Structure 1
Amino acid sequence: MSSSSAASGTHPIAEASPLSLCAREPHVPADRLVAEMVPPPRFDSVRFSTYIPDPNQPSQTEAVGVLETFAGGLGGAHASGAGKAGKRGFLGFGRSKAPKTPAGPRGVYLDGGYGVGKTHLLASLWHATPAEPSLKAFGTFVELTNLVGALGFQQTVQTLSGHRLLCIDEFELDDPGDTVLVSSLLGKLVDAGVALAATSNTLPGKLGEGRFAAADFLREIQGLSARFRTLRIDGEDYRHRGLPEAPAPYSDEQVTKAAYATEGASLDHFPHLLDHLARVHPSRYGALTDGLKAVCLTDVQPIPDQSTALRLVVLADRLYDREVPVLASGLPFDKLFSEEMLKGGYRKKYFRAISRLTALARDAKGVVGA
């Protein structure tokens, strides 16, 4: 402790101010968008062997077997280069010998509710596919549309055509324009011999009991539907399977002290953060969290409107991907969204955000202990 701190009686941790998300306005170049199309840190080490199927849900075990076979079928003679990759079909079919209507699917679609491990399985497929990382791409639907925006449609086709596999997590079906754009992109990539794997969100009003809707997905991708094999994965949200209830919010003082005591932590007033997110494109939310060890939020309040809610969903996804604990005061995370929101067309996204923020709140217990 410095002499000045000792004289004033202030706590030594007050000498170093925490970071702030609201002070960040990151710029993300196009080449970074391409380079980052790999499984996020949370799914860096996942494999089929680390997926723990629910013994009461046989579809989970079955899905692992099918995906392992799918990954094994993506092996081929070519080792690199768009030219060679583009001449190879899925499951070893040479394009010159393949029939006009390929036998068997060129893609898999994982159909299941939130929290059943679809992203874990999708990332495991990426890891198990026998190809160099530069010949495999993994990203969310939003990240893929951002790539098209940064590179342009034709350049994106050229960039991804040499890949063995493209994994798309959380395929968005609530924006017709983006859905048509990505469907057209996937058509070009399939023609180039790229295998596809996807999970998706449901269309508004087509949600059922919080489930994804395979029929909606296959209809929206239109001409590609015959290329996908649907794998239904039943089960409950694993993040809450056998786990304790989410921790109650902390006090403003506890959150602030933890932020000052934790190197690499950010500290923001929740309403101010929501305002800041409106000024940063969602494609930059990942970069917004670069280097953070924890996110500390004070005065969490109900989300005021749908646009703000959807931005928070994207931030929650990026924090969850990067395993950044979230320590908060104010409202519990399961009270963020209004009843109207939770019954509307985007409710699946909101439930996912609640689930993921709750998991990150559990992770933040260690931050308070520090």
Structure 2
Amino acid sequence: MSLLSRYDALAAASLIERDQAQLSALRPLDRLAKELARPAPFRAALGVMSLFRSKAPAKAPRGVYLWGHVGRGKTTLMDLFFESAPTPGKRRVHFHSFMQEVHDRLHRARRESDGGEDPVTRVAKDLVAEAKLLCFDEFSVTDIADAMILARLFSTLFSAGVVVVATSNVEPERLYEGGRNRDLFLPFIDLLLERTEVVHLDARADFRMEKQPVEEVFFKVGDQKSRAAAEALFRSYMGAEAVELHLLVKGRSVRVPQASGRNARFRFSEICGQALGASDYLALCRNFDTMIVEDVPTMNFDRRNEAKRFIILVDVLYDAKARLILSAEADAQDLYAAAKGMEAQEFPRTVSRLIEMRSQQYLAEWQARHR
């Protein structure tokens, strides 16, 4: 079936709501799926032209960059495409996780380097050997270390015929907006515009917001009664056997204050007030299915570092389909307020995901996976 037929089947089964904007955005993905289905040689020599016997590599199909406001169905459409894509070597990954992996690989490449090949090129070669189609969820660039290597990395990937599909909350021209040395990042934007078709998904609403919330996983602790209710639930999950654990992540010890089975409990200051990042949160997700985070405060521009960690934490937990139970000083939409900065741009996605993560549908799916 075409992607459009698959979408229609899901809508007919009431698994999704049919939306005209989503259908329009699905057509470029359907075009790409059909192009990938056509037999064509894939060359992964990455500049070693002797392996091609002087033949130029076949031009790969143009990918898709799907952007729009939070909760409009971008990830759903990309996942529908990924499941149907006929490419044998394909990979779907959250962009935070991908860049963390790239930095790990670069660290190893530099350590093992004999002074010859550029480490970025070496890492790109390895990535090409592993996947010919890369699907990135939540494509965003907020870190200068990421920004400085993306053009070189993706130039090599695209030259080798790798096809990229990405979802994002912003159009390519606004990536790394306001970042340091952004002029050095602009060649990557040009490359992205050349090698992907930019599609704006302008669906009617944030569909996550319409899912019925289940309050017992999100507590606004504005008074003693609500705080006591949250504490009682937290204790019921942790039991009397909760212990302190330490996870080894990249040679560092990440402290888990309370762990019981596949459940972990943190204060906000312990998980977002410390110098932790995506690799630490990914390690937590590998060890725990339920994360309890208590005393999430309201934040402003002065606390943007904590807000950034919270954004990454929610992204990682959401992508892992983990269960998040938290207590907070305010409702999700009121947790961060700032007039400037990348965190202000990204926090609406966090709000949308927090609301979905306490919906009946999300929690029912979590229960079904952990029976």
The answer to whether TM tops 0.5 is yes
Q: What corresponds to 1:109 in structure 2? A: 65
Which deviates the most, 135-144 or 329-338?
Answer: 329-338
Q: What corresponds to 1:297 in structure 2? A: 293
What is the percent sequence identity of the aligned residues? 25
Kindly tell me: are residues 242 and 97 of structure 1, through their superposed partners in 2, closer, same or farther at Cα, counting changes over 3 Å?
A: closer
Kindly tell me: are residues 172 and 329 of structure 1, through their superposed partners in 2, closer, same or farther at Cα, counting changes over 3 Å?
A: closer
Give the whole-Å Cα distance in 1 for the aligned partners of 2:43 and 2:296. 49
Give the whole-Å Cα distance in 2 for the aligned partners of 1:227 and 1:330. 42
Pair 1:308-2:277 in alignment: no
Q: What corresponds to 1:320 in structure 2? A: 318
Kindly tell me: are residues 226 and 260 of structure 1, through their superposed partners in 2, closer, same or farther at Cα, counting changes over 3 Å?
A: closer
Aligned pair partner of 1:355 in 345, 352, 355: 352
Q: How many residues align?
A: 296
Kindly tell me: are residues 189 and 347 of structure 1, through their superposed partners in 2, closer, same or farther at Cα, counting changes over 3 Å?
A: same
More strand by share: 2
Q: What corresponds to 1:183 in structure 2? A: 151
Structure 2 matches for 1:248-287, cutoff 5 A?
Answer: 249=219, 251-260=229-238, 264-276=262-274, 278=275, 280-287=276-283
Kindly tell me: are residues 78 and 222 of structure 1, through their superposed partners in 2, closer, same or farther at Cα, counting changes over 3 Å?
A: closer
- Residue by residue over 1:10-47, the C-alpha shift from the partner in whole angstroms, topping out at 9 and shown as x without a partner, is xxxxxxxxxxxxxxxxxxxxxxxxxxxxxxxxxxxxx7
Q: What corresponds to 1:60 in structure 2? A: 22
Q: Is the 8 A contact 2:211 2:359 kept in 1?
A: no
Q: Is the 8 A contact 1:74 1:164 kept in 2?
A: no
Kindly tell me: are residues 295 and 174 of structure 1, through their superposed partners in 2, closer, same or farther at Cα, counting changes over 3 Å?
A: closer
Q: Secondary structure at the match of 1:266?
A: strand
Pair 1:145-2:141 in alignment: no
Q: What corresponds to 1:213 in structure 2? A: 171
Q: Secondary structure at the match of 2:358?
A: helix
Give the whole-Å Cα distance in 2 for the aligned partners of 1:190 and 1:198. 14
Kindly tell me: are residues 187 and 219 of structure 1, through their superposed partners in 2, closer, same or farther at Cα, counting changes over 3 Å?
A: closer
Q: What corresponds to 1:157 in structure 2? A: 124
Superposition deviation, residue 158 in structure 1 = 1.0
Kindly tell me: are residues 120 and 315 of structure 1, through their superposed partners in 2, closer, same or farther at Cα, counting changes over 3 Å?
A: same
Q: Give the TM-score taking structure 2 as reference length.
A: 0.67
Kindly tell me: are residues 345 and 253 of structure 1, through their superposed partners in 2, closer, same or farther at Cα, counting changes over 3 Å?
A: closer
Q: Which runs of 5+ in 1 are unaligned?
A: 1-46, 88-94, 202-211
Q: What corresponds to 1:334 in structure 2? A: 332
Q: Secondary structure at the match of 1:305?
A: helix
Letter in 2 for 1:258: S
Aligned pair partner of 2:207 in 226, 238, 249: 238
Letter in 2 for 1:305: R
Q: What corresponds to 1:21 in structure 2? A: none
Pair 1:195-2:144 in alignment: no
Pair 1:74-2:36 in alignment: yes
Superposition deviation, residue 351 in structure 1 = 1.1
Structure 2 matches for 1:81-120, cutoff 5 A?
Answer: 82=44, 96=56, 106-120=62-76
Kindly tell me: are residues 339 and 246 of structure 1, through their superposed partners in 2, closer, same or farther at Cα, counting changes over 3 Å?
A: farther
Superposition deviation, residue 111 in structure 1 = 1.7
- Residue by residue over 1:86-133, the C-alpha shift from the partner in whole angstroms, topping out at 9 and shown as x without a partner, is 99xxxxxxx7485xxx6x96211102111112122222222222133x
- Residue by residue over 1:295-353, the C-alpha shift from the partner in whole angstroms, topping out at 9 and shown as x without a partner, is 22333322471111111111101111122222223424415633226x54322311111
Q: Is the 8 A contact 1:282 1:314 kept in 2?
A: yes
Give the whole-Å Cα distance in 1 for the aligned partners of 2:211 and 2:230. 30
Give the whole-Å Cα distance in 1 for the aligned partners of 2:38 and 2:154. 21
Q: Give the TM-score taking structure 1 as reference length.
A: 0.67
Q: Is the 8 A contact 2:209 2:355 kept in 1?
A: no
Letter in 2 for 1:269: R
- Residue by residue over 1:132-179, the C-alpha shift from the partner in whole angstroms, topping out at 9 and shown as x without a partner, is 3xx212223332322222222123211122332112222224445523
Give the whole-Å Cα distance in 1 for the aligned partners of 2:172 and 2:22. 16
Letter in 1 for 2:154: L
Q: Is the 8 A contact 1:300 1:331 kept in 2?
A: yes
Kindly tell me: are residues 241 and 219 of structure 1, through their superposed partners in 2, closer, same or farther at Cα, counting changes over 3 Å?
A: farther
Q: Is the 8 A contact 2:94 2:319 kept in 1?
A: no
Q: Secondary structure at the match of 2:286?
A: coil
- Residue by residue over 1:246-285, the C-alpha shift from the partner in whole angstroms, topping out at 9 and shown as x without a partner, is 6661523323233235852222223223234x2x332231
The root-mean-square deviation of aligned C-alpha atoms, in Å, is 3.7
Q: Is the 8 A contact 1:302 1:335 kept in 2?
A: no
Kindly tell me: are residues 224 and 324 of structure 1, through their superposed partners in 2, closer, same or farther at Cα, counting changes over 3 Å?
A: closer
Q: What corresponds to 1:345 in structure 2? A: 342
Q: Is the 8 A contact 1:333 1:357 kept in 2?
A: no
Q: Is the 8 A contact 1:270 1:300 kept in 2?
A: yes
Q: Is the 8 A contact 1:105 1:226 kept in 2?
A: no
Kindly tell me: are residues 281 and 245 of structure 1, through their superposed partners in 2, closer, same or farther at Cα, counting changes over 3 Å?
A: closer
Pair 1:125-2:69 in alignment: no
Q: Secondary structure at the match of 1:319?
A: helix
